[in-house]
Chains A and B, each alone.
Chain A
């Protein structure tokens, strides 16, 4: 597979006041052209930080390391900041969780949409304006000419997110990263925005990394799913396999807590909380909450299983809900 995005062992460490904090720990990700990959996991599990690292948008206190970070045949790690800026915003775009605060209050919607085109595309002013109108129509905003002259505070949250989607699409990207694009919106319009995003993805054939809490959406749309827990990627499977036979106990717990037929809008809750900087267990990070935890789990970090077991980060990955005891060298 010639992956559009291919990441190996991505780690991000923040230099915080209380010492280094590893927010993302050895995460892998592959996205093929036109593919929709979902990333799920509780808040604080490093989903946003991992994707911001790919975009190169983390603050300076963050240190990013990876064995590989290839996008569209180019090594993002080897690119200079200037070269990377030619890719980011053109071939690689991102939609954020908070649409209202993600638009600059001092500039019109039109200015902000045309700006990305001006930076990356060889279009005249009139062409950029025409394309901006076209984009607003595409994302379902009525009276596009008038809306282009509006300032962000004159838009609702849903409108703002439509504008953000238009902005992301402006330069015909190859991959869009959508970080919980509906979480901050009214429940009534969440589905509209998500449907719009999925429709546009299908039509344009753009790759999409969708960070979401909505397991129902994952089940219906994603080709593959990555499950993150406390900065680690604990499982990755194609969607069908994941829902049929989760191999990591955390995934299993997520699915088990899901209401019948996976209609839950929010990530189902399971007992306990994600460990922070202070209370990180020595062994498996999930061990304090895992019903299969053993003494080994609590003291020895688990190895990664093979692809047939969903790359599960577990001493005893599940098959059909049953832990598989394996021999390993301690």
Chain B
């Protein structure tokens, strides 16, 4: 088991090297540079321009910039934001809980609805229920996030007035210092009446928007995996013991059917974080997604490079954890 973990960790190293290179290049492929982005149309006097470029290290040859960047990264230094002058890692850590909270809620939403929907569709295969679940899943999978978000805002917030349009919290009525960075927890800790329900209300739409695609993927995967498992001999054995259908399906079949689903859920973390960038922008959600988009428009190279590196590292880490989980829930590998 330990050997397996070490091997998987070692395998991620080349990925990181490639990542460093790709982020560095990709960031520089965006037309313009940080100084142009800040001076805009007004122009800037050449001496000042040279001074700024020197200050930011942009006057160095590109290969030198890359080596400096790699050297800093290897020392755990993600650079300093050109715009805010604060360390990138610091900014990231402040903003990340908001993204994590949203992503976790979306994931829970997708799993809690997707797994039962897939199981029901499989058990009642060919029925109206099955066809409806699959049709909705297909629709959810194909829905552009931006369009879906605006649609929900228009209907739920503007028309029905049920949910707030944007943000994480109702800042006019509530104010409290972040403790954990998770609004759901902090609002509870604040002890302010109604703060928690306000936090929940703000989370609903972003959660649905971000969770829709994973929900569709998980429902479809659960259904097909379940259909396969339901035909297995050991399911027949379970029924031959006179066990209730709930136990046969919910324990014997589902336990096996979930093995591939866990992998799919793991693969969704990438999708989830990518989706968070869009979702946060739609809902003005103060997380790393929105921050990255803003960093692009400011050509804040260090923020972009560092942010992408950190997010990628998280995706790789989660995939690693999922791999371990896959081993943990699959006795055939665990006791190879």
Chain A interface (Cβ within 8 Å of chain B)?
55, 57, 84-90, 93-94, 96, 98, 101-107, 112, 115-116, 119-120, 151, 153-154, 164, 167
Task: Choose among B240, B244, B329, B331 the residue that contacts A151 (Cβ–Cβ < 8 A).
Answer: B331
CA distance A297 to B331 in the complex (A): 56
Known contacts A96-B233, A153-B335; is A115 also within 8 Å of B243 by CB?
yes
Residue in A closest to B336 when the chains form the complex, CB atoms:
A153
The interface bits of chain B over 237-263 (1 if a CB of A lies within 8 angstroms of the residue's CB, else 0) are 111111110000000100110010000
Residue in B closest to A117 when the chains form the complex, CB atoms:
B241
26 A-B pairs within 8 Å (CB atoms) are namely A57-B239, A85-B242, A85-B244, A86-B242, A87-B242, A88-B242, A96-B236, A96-B237, A98-B233, A101-B234, A102-B233, A102-B236, A102-B237, A103-B234, A103-B237, A104-B237, A104-B255, A105-B331, A106-B331, A107-B252, A112-B237, A115-B241, A116-B241, A119-B242, A167-B237, A167-B241
User: Do residues A89 and B241 form an inter-chain contact, with CB atoms below 8 A?
Assistant: yes
Which residues of B, 216-243, contact A by the 8 Å Cβ criterion? Answer: 232-234, 236-243
Known contacts A151-B335, A154-B335; is A55 also within 8 Å of B255 by CB?
no
> Any chain A CB within 8 A of the CB of B332?
yes
User: Do residues A89 and B335 form an inter-chain contact, with CB atoms below 8 A?
Assistant: no
Task: Choose among A55, A153, A154 the residue that contacts B240 (Cβ–Cβ < 8 A).
Answer: A55
User: Do residues B252 and A104 form an inter-chain contact, with CB atoms below 8 A?
Assistant: yes
Chain A residues lying within 8 Å of B331, measured Cβ to Cβ, are: 105-106, 151, 153
Chain A residues lying within 8 Å of B233, measured Cβ to Cβ, are: 96, 98, 101-102
Residue in A closest to B332 when the chains form the complex, CB atoms:
A153
**Interface residue tally on B, bucketed by range:** 20 to 34
CA distance A232 to B141 in the complex (A): 50
Chain A residues lying within 8 Å of B242, measured Cβ to Cβ, are: 84-90, 116, 119-120
CA distance A107 to B252 in the complex (A): 8
Which residues of B, 246-282, contact A by the 8 Å Cβ criterion? Answer: 252, 255-256, 259
Task: Choose among A57, A85, A86, A115 the residue that contacts B236 (Cβ–Cβ < 8 A).
Answer: A57
Residue in A closest to B255 when the chains form the complex, CB atoms:
A106
| 6 tightest Cβ-Cβ pairs between the two chains A and B | A89-B242, A89-B241, A104-B234, A101-B233, A85-B242, A151-B331
Chain B residues lying within 8 Å of A101, measured Cβ to Cβ, are: 232-234
CA distance A101 to B259 in the complex (A): 17
Known contacts A151-B332, A153-B332, A154-B335; is A102 also within 8 Å of B234 by CB?
yes
Chain B residues lying within 8 Å of A116, measured Cβ to Cβ, are: 241-242
Chain A residues lying within 8 Å of B255, measured Cβ to Cβ, are: 104, 106-107
CA distance A282 to B122 in the complex (A): 39
Question: Shortest Cβ distance from A197 into chain B, in angstroms?
Answer: 16
Chain A residues lying within 8 Å of B239, measured Cβ to Cβ, are: 57, 88
Chain B residues lying within 8 Å of A55, measured Cβ to Cβ, are: 240
Chain B residues lying within 8 Å of A98, measured Cβ to Cβ, are: 233
Chain B residues lying within 8 Å of A119, measured Cβ to Cβ, are: 241-243
Residue in A closest to B334 when the chains form the complex, CB atoms:
A151
User: Do residues A57 and B234 form an inter-chain contact, with CB atoms below 8 A?
Assistant: no
CA distance A84 to B259 in the complex (A): 32
Chain B residues lying within 8 Å of A96, measured Cβ to Cβ, are: 233, 236-237, 240
Chain A residues lying within 8 Å of B329, measured Cβ to Cβ, are: 106
User: Do residues B335 and A85 form an inter-chain contact, with CB atoms below 8 A?
Assistant: no
Question: Shortest Cβ distance from B262 into chain A, in angstroms?
Answer: 12
Known contacts A102-B233, A102-B234, A104-B256; is A93 also within 8 Å of B240 by CB?
yes
User: Do residues A105 and B241 form an inter-chain contact, with CB atoms below 8 A?
Assistant: no
Question: Shortest Cβ distance from A83 into chain B, in angstroms?
Answer: 10
Residue in B closest to A120 when the chains form the complex, CB atoms:
B242
CA distance A172 to B225 in the complex (A): 35
CA distance A108 to B283 in the complex (A): 48
CA distance A102 to B330 in the complex (A): 17
Chain A residues lying within 8 Å of B238, measured Cβ to Cβ, are: 104
CA distance A151 to B332 in the complex (A): 8
Which residues of B, 112-148, contact A by the 8 Å Cβ criterion? Answer: none
Chain B residues lying within 8 Å of A115, measured Cβ to Cβ, are: 241, 243
Given A96-B240, A106-B329, A106-B330, 4 extra CB contacts under 8 A = A104-B252, A104-B255, A112-B237, A151-B331
Chain B residues lying within 8 Å of A107, measured Cβ to Cβ, are: 252, 255
Task: Choose among B237, B244, B256 the residue that contacts A106 (Cβ–Cβ < 8 A).
Answer: B256
Residue in A closest to B239 when the chains form the complex, CB atoms:
A57
CA distance A164 to B244 in the complex (A): 20
Question: Shortest Cβ distance from A168 into chain B, in angstroms?
Answer: 9
Residue in B closest to A89 when the chains form the complex, CB atoms:
B242
CA distance A96 to B255 in the complex (A): 22
Of B234, B242, B331, most A-chain CB atoms within 10 Å: B242
Chain A residues lying within 8 Å of B234, measured Cβ to Cβ, are: 101-105
Residue in A closest to B231 when the chains form the complex, CB atoms:
A59
Question: Shortest Cβ distance from A29 into chain B, in angstroms?
Answer: 18
Of B233, B234, B332, most A-chain CB atoms within 10 Å: B234
CA distance A206 to B54 in the complex (A): 92
